[in-house]
Structure 1
Amino acid sequence: MTSAGSGDVVCQEKWRLALGLLDTLAAWQLKAPVVVADAGYGVSTPFRIGLQERGLSYVLALTGKEDAHPEDAESHQPAYSGLGPPMLPRYRAPPRAVSTLTVEADAGRFTEVTWRRGSKGAMTSRFAVMTVRPAGKQSLAAAQKTGGGRNG
Protein backbone atom coordinates (compact mmCIF):
# COMPACT_ATOMS: atom_id res chain seq x y z
CA MET A 1 0.00 0.00 0.00
CA THR A 2 1.14 3.48 -0.70
CA SER A 3 -0.17 6.73 0.64
CA ALA A 4 -1.78 9.05 -1.89
CA GLY A 5 -1.81 12.03 0.46
CA SER A 6 -4.56 13.49 2.63
CA GLY A 7 -5.05 10.15 4.39
CA ASP A 8 -6.02 8.20 1.26
CA VAL A 9 -4.49 4.76 0.88
CA VAL A 10 -3.94 3.35 -2.60
CA CYS A 11 -3.52 -0.39 -3.09
CA GLN A 12 -1.25 -1.78 -5.79
CA GLU A 13 -0.75 -5.32 -6.99
CA LYS A 14 2.54 -6.77 -5.78
CA TRP A 15 3.81 -7.22 -9.35
CA ARG A 16 3.38 -3.45 -9.89
CA LEU A 17 5.28 -2.75 -6.68
CA ALA A 18 8.09 -5.07 -7.80
CA LEU A 19 8.35 -3.35 -11.19
CA GLY A 20 8.39 0.00 -9.38
CA LEU A 21 11.33 -1.17 -7.25
CA LEU A 22 13.17 -2.32 -10.37
CA ASP A 23 12.49 1.07 -11.96
CA THR A 24 13.92 2.76 -8.84
CA LEU A 25 17.08 0.67 -9.23
CA ALA A 26 17.32 1.75 -12.87
CA ALA A 27 16.94 5.40 -11.82
CA TRP A 28 19.95 4.84 -9.53
CA GLN A 29 21.89 3.46 -12.53
CA LEU A 30 21.69 -0.07 -11.10
CA LYS A 31 20.27 -3.21 -12.70
CA ALA A 32 19.37 -6.57 -11.23
CA PRO A 33 21.58 -9.21 -12.92
CA VAL A 34 18.58 -11.55 -13.00
CA VAL A 35 15.13 -11.35 -11.44
CA VAL A 36 14.07 -14.55 -9.67
CA ALA A 37 10.53 -14.94 -8.35
CA ASP A 38 8.05 -17.53 -7.20
CA ALA A 39 4.78 -18.43 -8.94
CA GLY A 40 2.99 -15.56 -7.18
CA TYR A 41 4.80 -13.31 -9.65
CA GLY A 42 5.32 -15.87 -12.42
CA VAL A 43 1.60 -16.28 -13.08
CA SER A 44 1.28 -12.54 -13.75
CA THR A 45 1.51 -11.97 -17.50
CA PRO A 46 1.77 -8.18 -17.01
CA PHE A 47 4.75 -8.75 -14.69
CA ARG A 48 6.51 -10.98 -17.23
CA ILE A 49 5.82 -8.45 -19.99
CA GLY A 50 7.09 -5.63 -17.75
CA LEU A 51 10.35 -7.50 -17.21
CA GLN A 52 10.73 -8.06 -20.96
CA GLU A 53 9.98 -4.40 -21.75
CA ARG A 54 12.73 -3.39 -19.30
CA GLY A 55 15.22 -5.77 -20.92
CA LEU A 56 15.69 -7.71 -17.68
CA SER A 57 16.70 -11.36 -17.51
CA TYR A 58 14.37 -13.39 -15.34
CA VAL A 59 13.58 -16.83 -13.99
CA LEU A 60 10.04 -17.25 -12.70
CA ALA A 61 8.17 -20.20 -11.27
CA LEU A 62 4.86 -21.05 -12.94
CA THR A 63 1.97 -23.23 -11.82
CA GLY A 64 1.74 -25.05 -15.18
CA LYS A 65 -1.70 -23.68 -16.03
CA GLU A 66 -0.39 -20.60 -17.87
CA ASP A 67 -0.73 -20.64 -21.65
CA ALA A 68 2.37 -20.22 -23.77
CA HIS A 69 3.87 -20.96 -27.15
CA PRO A 70 7.02 -23.07 -27.50
CA GLU A 71 10.27 -21.12 -27.72
CA ASP A 72 10.68 -21.92 -31.43
CA ALA A 73 7.17 -20.73 -32.39
CA GLU A 74 7.25 -17.85 -34.84
CA SER A 75 4.43 -15.47 -35.57
CA HIS A 76 3.36 -14.79 -39.14
CA GLN A 77 1.67 -11.84 -40.78
CA PRO A 78 -1.59 -12.85 -42.52
CA ALA A 79 -1.98 -11.43 -46.03
CA TYR A 80 -3.98 -8.21 -46.21
CA SER A 81 -7.29 -8.70 -48.01
CA GLY A 82 -7.76 -4.99 -48.68
CA LEU A 83 -10.86 -4.77 -46.49
CA GLY A 84 -10.76 -3.23 -43.03
CA PRO A 85 -7.60 -2.84 -40.98
CA PRO A 86 -4.71 -5.23 -41.66
CA MET A 87 -4.66 -8.30 -39.45
CA LEU A 88 -2.08 -8.31 -36.69
CA PRO A 89 0.71 -10.89 -36.56
CA ARG A 90 -0.34 -14.17 -34.95
CA TYR A 91 0.87 -17.68 -34.25
CA ARG A 92 -0.27 -20.50 -36.50
CA ALA A 93 -0.88 -22.90 -33.61
CA PRO A 94 -2.89 -22.09 -30.49
CA PRO A 95 -1.01 -21.74 -27.20
CA ARG A 96 -0.85 -24.69 -24.83
CA ALA A 97 -0.58 -24.98 -21.07
CA VAL A 98 3.01 -24.80 -19.80
CA SER A 99 2.44 -28.19 -18.14
CA THR A 100 1.66 -29.66 -21.58
CA LEU A 101 4.77 -28.08 -23.10
CA THR A 102 6.79 -29.53 -20.23
CA VAL A 103 5.43 -33.05 -20.80
CA GLU A 104 6.30 -32.73 -24.50
CA ALA A 105 9.86 -31.64 -23.64
CA ASP A 106 12.73 -34.06 -23.64
CA ALA A 107 12.92 -35.93 -20.32
CA GLY A 108 16.63 -35.13 -20.25
CA ARG A 109 15.73 -31.51 -19.51
CA PHE A 110 14.69 -32.42 -15.98
CA THR A 111 17.19 -32.27 -13.17
CA GLU A 112 16.60 -33.54 -9.66
CA VAL A 113 17.49 -30.89 -7.10
CA THR A 114 17.71 -31.18 -3.33
CA TRP A 115 17.57 -27.71 -1.84
CA ARG A 116 17.59 -28.47 1.88
CA ARG A 117 16.84 -30.97 4.59
CA GLY A 118 13.43 -30.62 6.14
CA SER A 119 11.94 -32.18 9.27
CA LYS A 120 10.93 -35.23 7.20
CA GLY A 121 14.16 -35.55 5.23
CA ALA A 122 15.58 -34.09 2.07
CA MET A 123 13.39 -31.67 0.14
CA THR A 124 13.83 -32.80 -3.45
CA SER A 125 11.98 -32.32 -6.71
CA ARG A 126 12.58 -32.37 -10.46
CA PHE A 127 12.94 -29.12 -12.34
CA ALA A 128 13.09 -28.16 -15.99
CA VAL A 129 14.23 -24.84 -17.35
CA MET A 130 12.31 -23.85 -20.46
CA THR A 131 12.04 -20.72 -22.52
CA VAL A 132 8.50 -20.07 -23.73
CA ARG A 133 6.65 -17.27 -25.47
CA PRO A 134 3.82 -15.84 -23.33
CA ALA A 135 0.29 -16.12 -24.66
CA GLY A 136 -3.13 -14.84 -23.70
CA LYS A 137 -5.04 -11.59 -23.89
CA GLN A 138 -2.55 -9.58 -21.84
CA SER A 139 0.48 -10.64 -23.88
CA LEU A 140 -1.46 -10.11 -27.13
CA ALA A 141 -2.40 -6.57 -26.09
CA ALA A 142 1.23 -5.80 -25.22
CA ALA A 143 2.45 -7.18 -28.56
CA GLN A 144 -0.12 -5.13 -30.44
CA LYS A 145 0.85 -1.95 -28.58
CA THR A 146 4.57 -2.59 -29.21
CA GLY A 147 3.90 -3.30 -32.89
CA GLY A 148 1.96 -0.07 -33.32
CA GLY A 149 -1.36 -1.88 -33.57
CA ARG A 150 -4.34 -1.37 -31.31
CA ASN A 151 -3.71 1.11 -28.51
CA GLY A 152 -5.82 0.08 -25.63
Structure 2
Amino acid sequence: MGLEDEENVPTIPFISTIHRKYGIFLNHNMKDYNLSFGQYPILIRLYDEGPSTQQNLAKIFQLNESTITRALNKLEEKEYIEKHPDYENKRKNYVKVTPKGAKIAKEVMDYDEQWDKICSENLSEKEFEEFKTTLKKIYSTIVKREEK
Protein backbone atom coordinates (compact mmCIF):
# COMPACT_ATOMS: atom_id res chain seq x y z
CA MET A 1 0.00 0.00 0.00
CA GLY A 2 1.45 3.34 -1.05
CA LEU A 3 0.72 6.93 -0.10
CA GLU A 4 -1.66 7.26 -3.04
CA ASP A 5 -3.96 4.71 -1.36
CA GLU A 6 -4.22 6.61 1.92
CA GLU A 7 -6.70 9.36 2.69
CA ASN A 8 -5.87 12.80 4.07
CA VAL A 9 -2.14 12.64 3.35
CA PRO A 10 -0.44 16.06 3.35
CA THR A 11 1.23 17.15 0.12
CA ILE A 12 4.82 17.10 1.39
CA PRO A 13 5.33 13.29 1.37
CA PHE A 14 4.38 13.28 -2.32
CA ILE A 15 6.63 16.22 -3.15
CA SER A 16 9.48 14.75 -1.13
CA THR A 17 9.21 11.35 -2.83
CA ILE A 18 9.05 12.88 -6.31
CA HIS A 19 12.11 15.02 -5.54
CA ARG A 20 14.06 12.05 -4.18
CA LYS A 21 13.16 9.87 -7.20
CA TYR A 22 14.17 12.72 -9.53
CA GLY A 23 17.56 12.88 -7.79
CA ILE A 24 18.02 9.13 -8.21
CA PHE A 25 17.02 9.39 -11.89
CA LEU A 26 19.49 12.22 -12.55
CA ASN A 27 22.37 10.71 -10.58
CA HIS A 28 21.93 7.39 -12.40
CA ASN A 29 21.88 9.04 -15.84
CA MET A 30 24.73 11.45 -15.14
CA LYS A 31 27.26 9.19 -13.46
CA ASP A 32 29.21 8.81 -16.74
CA TYR A 33 29.53 12.61 -16.88
CA ASN A 34 30.77 12.91 -13.30
CA LEU A 35 27.90 15.31 -12.68
CA SER A 36 25.66 15.29 -9.61
CA PHE A 37 22.04 16.14 -8.94
CA GLY A 38 23.09 19.43 -7.32
CA GLN A 39 25.47 20.47 -10.09
CA TYR A 40 23.23 19.61 -13.03
CA PRO A 41 20.73 22.52 -12.83
CA ILE A 42 23.52 25.05 -12.37
CA LEU A 43 25.41 23.84 -15.43
CA ILE A 44 22.22 23.78 -17.53
CA ARG A 45 21.19 27.27 -16.35
CA LEU A 46 24.61 28.73 -17.20
CA TYR A 47 24.58 26.98 -20.57
CA ASP A 48 21.06 28.21 -21.42
CA GLU A 49 21.24 31.72 -19.96
CA GLY A 50 24.92 32.62 -20.19
CA PRO A 51 27.27 33.99 -17.52
CA SER A 52 25.90 34.83 -14.10
CA THR A 53 27.13 35.84 -10.68
CA GLN A 54 27.28 33.38 -7.81
CA GLN A 55 24.86 35.62 -5.90
CA ASN A 56 22.34 35.54 -8.75
CA LEU A 57 22.56 31.74 -8.97
CA ALA A 58 21.92 31.48 -5.22
CA LYS A 59 18.81 33.63 -5.64
CA ILE A 60 17.54 31.71 -8.68
CA PHE A 61 17.94 28.31 -7.03
CA GLN A 62 16.84 29.51 -3.57
CA LEU A 63 20.10 28.25 -2.02
CA ASN A 64 22.59 29.95 0.26
CA GLU A 65 25.78 31.23 -1.33
CA SER A 66 28.00 28.66 0.40
CA THR A 67 26.00 25.82 -1.18
CA ILE A 68 26.28 27.44 -4.61
CA THR A 69 30.01 28.03 -4.04
CA ARG A 70 30.60 24.35 -3.24
CA ALA A 71 28.73 23.23 -6.37
CA LEU A 72 30.58 25.78 -8.52
CA ASN A 73 33.95 24.73 -7.09
CA LYS A 74 33.22 21.13 -8.07
CA LEU A 75 32.13 22.19 -11.56
CA GLU A 76 35.28 24.29 -11.86
CA GLU A 77 37.48 21.34 -10.77
CA LYS A 78 35.93 19.31 -13.60
CA GLU A 79 36.61 22.22 -15.98
CA TYR A 80 32.89 22.55 -16.79
CA ILE A 81 32.79 26.20 -15.71
CA GLU A 82 35.22 29.01 -15.04
CA LYS A 83 35.01 31.95 -12.66
CA HIS A 84 36.06 35.49 -13.46
CA PRO A 85 36.23 38.27 -10.87
CA ASP A 86 34.19 41.42 -11.35
CA TYR A 87 36.80 44.13 -11.73
CA GLU A 88 34.55 46.71 -10.05
CA ASN A 89 33.66 44.49 -7.08
CA LYS A 90 36.34 41.94 -6.15
CA ARG A 91 33.92 40.03 -3.90
CA LYS A 92 31.72 39.20 -6.88
CA ASN A 93 32.54 36.41 -9.34
CA TYR A 94 31.04 35.86 -12.76
CA VAL A 95 30.65 32.25 -13.76
CA LYS A 96 30.45 30.88 -17.29
CA VAL A 97 30.41 27.51 -19.00
CA THR A 98 33.62 26.31 -20.65
CA PRO A 99 33.61 24.54 -24.03
CA LYS A 100 33.97 21.23 -22.14
CA GLY A 101 30.99 22.18 -19.93
CA ALA A 102 28.93 23.20 -22.97
CA LYS A 103 29.56 19.80 -24.56
CA ILE A 104 28.38 18.03 -21.40
CA ALA A 105 25.36 20.35 -21.03
CA LYS A 106 24.24 19.58 -24.59
CA GLU A 107 24.45 15.86 -23.89
CA VAL A 108 22.51 15.89 -20.60
CA MET A 109 20.03 18.72 -20.96
CA ASP A 110 17.15 16.58 -22.15
CA TYR A 111 16.94 14.71 -18.82
CA ASP A 112 14.38 17.20 -17.49
CA GLU A 113 12.21 16.57 -20.53
CA GLN A 114 12.56 12.81 -20.03
CA TRP A 115 11.56 13.22 -16.38
CA ASP A 116 8.50 15.28 -17.35
CA LYS A 117 7.46 12.48 -19.72
CA ILE A 118 7.78 9.93 -16.93
CA CYS A 119 5.77 12.14 -14.54
CA SER A 120 3.03 12.78 -17.07
CA GLU A 121 2.58 9.21 -18.35
CA ASN A 122 -0.88 8.91 -16.78
CA LEU A 123 -1.98 12.51 -17.39
CA SER A 124 -3.40 14.27 -20.40
CA GLU A 125 -1.38 17.16 -21.79
CA LYS A 126 -3.96 19.55 -20.33
CA GLU A 127 -3.77 17.93 -16.89
CA PHE A 128 0.01 18.17 -16.86
CA GLU A 129 -0.05 21.84 -17.92
CA GLU A 130 -2.60 22.59 -15.19
CA PHE A 131 -0.41 20.75 -12.69
CA LYS A 132 2.63 22.83 -13.69
CA THR A 133 0.59 26.03 -13.41
CA THR A 134 -0.52 25.04 -9.91
CA LEU A 135 3.05 24.15 -8.90
CA LYS A 136 4.27 27.55 -10.11
CA LYS A 137 1.61 29.26 -8.00
CA ILE A 138 2.63 27.27 -4.92
CA TYR A 139 6.30 28.00 -5.58
CA SER A 140 5.60 31.72 -5.98
CA THR A 141 3.58 31.79 -2.76
CA ILE A 142 6.34 30.08 -0.78
CA VAL A 143 9.12 32.27 -2.19
CA LYS A 144 7.18 35.50 -1.60
CA ARG A 145 6.33 34.42 1.93
CA GLU A 146 10.01 33.77 2.65
CA GLU A 147 11.01 37.20 1.32
CA LYS A 148 8.81 38.99 3.88
TM-score normalized by the length of structure 1: 0.22
The structure with the larger Rg is 1
More strand by share: 1
More helix by share: 2
TM-score normalized by the length of structure 2: 0.22
